[in-house]
């Protein structure tokens, strides 16, 4: 709709702003070559894409372009097509990357066809925070296109953009924006829900970092039980550990910060901590606790109660106390589990060492459920990588995981690991009950939420799975453990979206054989035979005994057609049957 006011017109439209990354530096290094490449891109390449998507090039800024589209869907399609072209091996203009911002809103159009207004300004600011080769779009655009485009949109949180008076909810495509931090709990918490960030506890006096980091993670996990709080996840805590408090207040809307130190004094441990009002910077309270080995878990519980009681103004701990997980019988067993957790997943030597630590924890405390659960998980991983026909390791993992839950029926870690093992035994109903129970115990924990995504991924409900994965990042926009993006890639693959699958899979922070195998299958479905064979070669280089039939049999799909789709894609990529 267009409204005229003399020579000025107003209309609701989608605005795309794009800019070449590092233009000035490239000009300094190769002035004539850069000028030619950018001019060709801006005058010959991009206008063709814009016109094919029913858009209009508003203006060319030399190293950038502004375009408008009557349809937000076509604007996003155009942006994705341009970025895909620039990222492809066939591109005729190597070395050029674009940032893009897309907004949908009311704009002013003058007599010369130029565009102005808040709708344009927001698009320009979104372009500035986009990652090289990526796209940032406003929530308005996402709302317009989410039903019509099956693309891997990622919610990044609310950002305070330069010279834009209100926070803007931002989604990204292809690459996540760097350098800025979203607000905590934007979509999940009401305006009166206080937010809190737990800084990683500092190790002093002989305390190893793995202990203080593990203690921090456990405190955060306990805090997420309380729906009256918006708690930044452990992943966010680690990412923001060096960011100053005033910056956190302005960028993520933080209300409270907890910081502390852990010091070992002989057989005793001293915990010093303070709760800070993030807005004023003043201490709400500061405490120190001296404890013997076992008392550290009582201190942890008291610390959580005090935080909740102070921040919320009242403590509803009765119900949570009944659901509290059982602590280990001694500190040494707890430390063994933390040592195992600190070792990198995916490195075979490190995993073997981790299994030894978990077994040591069991030897020290035969009633410590979480130690059994972690050992069961690593046994399941060992079974998954083995291309032989034996399921003895999976059966062993099942027996150990059952014992973990029998010992610690209210520990979400134990519940989730038994659920994961049961998925591989095709007991989907009981696995669903375990995942639901874990989520009930920690409703605000993005990890528990994303585990529901894994359940529905293999349960034949990809759209439902994606909703849970997206919800995890709404709870915490910085939440992305190593398996998060590969699993989103699996969702896209079984939903028949191989292009989106490749985008998500390629964002994996590690590249184990199973991720590369899905990339090979996705490439073969798209008809990209050379890419498929390249990924297949990487799979075989890391796993010479790889078998399509055995790999597919180990993936816990409930529907035979999902298993058949994967098998066909792997074979077409050239992997051995």
List Cβ neighbours of 180 (8 Å cut-off, separation of 6 or more). 129, 159, 251
With a cut of 90, say whether residue 420 has pLDDT above it. yes
Q: What is the mean pLDDT of the segment spanning 222-240?
A: 76
- pLDDT top residue among 530 and 174: 530
Confidence of residue 61 (pLDDT cuts 50, 70, 90): confident
CB–CB of 122/103 below 8 Å?
A: yes
Minimum mean pLDDT range among 79-88, 287-296, 332-341, 492-501: 287-296
With a cut of 60, say whether residue 190 has pLDDT above it. no
Which pLDDT score is estimated for 151? 77
Give domain limits for the chain. 2-173, 195-322, 327-441, 461-577
With a cut of 50, say whether residue 313 has pLDDT above it. no
Q: What is the mean pLDDT of the segment spanning 433-441?
A: 87
With a cut of 50, say whether residue 186 has pLDDT above it. no
Percent of the chain at pLDDT > 70 equals: 86
* Whole-number average pLDDT of the chain: 83
With a cut of 70, say whether residue 228 has pLDDT above it. no
327-441 and 195-322 share a CATH fold = no
With a cut of 70, say whether residue 191 has pLDDT above it. no
- Tell whether the torsion through CA atoms of 423, 425, 426 and 430 is positive or negative: negative
DSSP codes, 489-557: HHHHHHTT-HHHHHHHHTT-SS--HHHHHHHHHHHHHTT-HHHHHHHHHHHHHH-TT--HHHHHHHS--
List Cβ neighbours of 138 (8 Å cut-off, separation of 6 or more). 102, 103, 104, 105, 122, 123, 126, 168, 169, 170, 171
With a cut of 70, say whether residue 187 has pLDDT above it. no
With a cut of 80, say whether residue 485 has pLDDT above it. yes
Which pLDDT score is estimated for 181? 52
Confidence of residue 189 (pLDDT cuts 50, 70, 90): very low
Which pLDDT score is estimated for 4? 52
pTM of the model: 0.61
What are 255-290's pLDDT values in tens digits? Answer: 788 888 888 877 777 888 888 888 777 777 777 777
Terminal Cα-to-Cα distance of the chain (whole angstroms): 57
What are 505-545's pLDDT values in tens digits? Answer: 988 888 899 999 999 999 999 999 999 999 999 999 999 99
* CATH number at 2-173: 3.30.70.1230
Torsion from C-alpha of 100, 103, 107, 112, nearest 10 degrees: 20
Helix (H, G, I), strand (E, B) or coil at 416: helix
Selecting from 3.40.140.10, 3.40.50.10610, 3.30.1050.10, 2.40.50.100, what CATH number does the domain 195-322 have? 3.40.50.10610
* Class in CATH terms, 327-441: mainly alpha
With a cut of 60, say whether residue 405 has pLDDT above it. yes
Which pLDDT score is estimated for 523? 94
Domain 461-577 has CATH 1.10.1200: no
Which pLDDT score is estimated for 178? 55
- pLDDT top residue among 226 and 89: 226
């Amino acid at each position: 709709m267009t409204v005229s006011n003399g020579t000025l017109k107003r209309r609701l439209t989608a605005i795309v702003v794009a800019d070449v990354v590092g233009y000035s530096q490239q000009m300094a290094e190769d002035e004539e070559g850069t000028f030619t490449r950018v001019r060709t891109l801006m005058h010959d390449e991009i206008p063709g894409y814009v016109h094919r998507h029913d858009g209009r090039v508003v203006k060319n800024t030399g190293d950038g372009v502004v375009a408008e589209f009557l349809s937000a869907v076509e604007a996003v399609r155009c942006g994705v097509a341009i970025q895909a072209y620039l990222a492809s091996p066939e591109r005729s203009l190597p070395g050029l990357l674009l940032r893009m911002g897309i907004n949908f809103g009311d704009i002013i159009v003058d007599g010369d066809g130029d565009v102005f207004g808040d709708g344009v300004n927001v698009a320009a600011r979104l372009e500035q925070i986009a990652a090289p080769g990526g796209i940032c779009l406003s929530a308005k655009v996402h709302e317009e296109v989410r039903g019509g485009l099956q693309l891997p949109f990622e919610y990044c949180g609310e950002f305070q953009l330069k010279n834009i008076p209100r926070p803007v909810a931002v989604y990204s495509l292809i690459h996540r924006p760097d350098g800025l931090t979203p607000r905590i709990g934007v979509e999940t918490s009401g305006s009166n829900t206080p937010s809190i960030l737990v800084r990683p506890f500092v190790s002093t006096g002989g305390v190893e970092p793995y202990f203080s980091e593990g203690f921090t993670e456990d405190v955060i996990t306990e805090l997420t039980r309380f729906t009256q709080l918006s708690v930044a996840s452990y992943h966010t805590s680690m990412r923001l550990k060096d960011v100053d408090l005033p910056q956190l207040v302005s960028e993520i809307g933080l209300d409270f910060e907890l910081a502390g130190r852990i010091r070992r004094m002989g057989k005793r441990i001293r915990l010093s901590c303070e709760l800070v009002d993030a807005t004023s910077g003043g201490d709400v309270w500061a405490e120190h606790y001296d404890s013997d080995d076992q008392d550290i878990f009582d201190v942890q519980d008291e610390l959580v109660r005090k935080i909740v009681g102070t921040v919320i103004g009242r403590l509803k701990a009765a119900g949570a106390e009944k659901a509290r997980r059982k602590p280990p019988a001694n500190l040494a067993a707890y430390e063994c589990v933390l040592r195992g957790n600190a070792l990198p997943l995916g490195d075979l030597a490190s995993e073997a060492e981790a299994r030894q630590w978990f077994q040591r924890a069991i030897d020290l405390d035969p009633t410590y459920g979480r130690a059994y659960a972690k050992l069961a998980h690593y046994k399941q991983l060992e079974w998954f990588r083995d291309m032989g026909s034996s399921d003895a390791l999976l059966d062993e993992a099942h027996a150990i995981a059952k014992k973990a839950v029998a010992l610690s029926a209210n520990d979400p870690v134990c519940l989730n690991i038994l659920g994961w093992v049961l998925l591989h035994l095709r007991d989907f109903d009981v696995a669903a009950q375990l995942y639901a129970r874990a989520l009930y115990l920690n409703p605000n924990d993005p990890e528990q939420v994303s585990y529901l995504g894994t359940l529905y991924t293999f349960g034949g409900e990809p759209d439902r799975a994606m909703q849970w994965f997206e919800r995890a990042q709404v709870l915490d926009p910085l939440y992305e453990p190593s398996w998060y993006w590969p699993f989103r890639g699996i969702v896209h693959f079984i939903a028949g979206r191989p292009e989106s699958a490749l985008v998500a899979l390629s964002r994996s922070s590690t590249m184990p054989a199973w991720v590369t195998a899905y990339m090979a299958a996705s490439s073969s479905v798209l008809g990209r035979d050379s890419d498929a064979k390249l990924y297949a070669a990487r799979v075989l280089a890391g796993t010479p005994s790889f078998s399509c039939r055995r790999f597919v049999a180990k993936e816990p799909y409930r529907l035979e057609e999902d298993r058949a789709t994967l098998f066909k894609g792997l074979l077409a990529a050239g992997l051995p049957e």
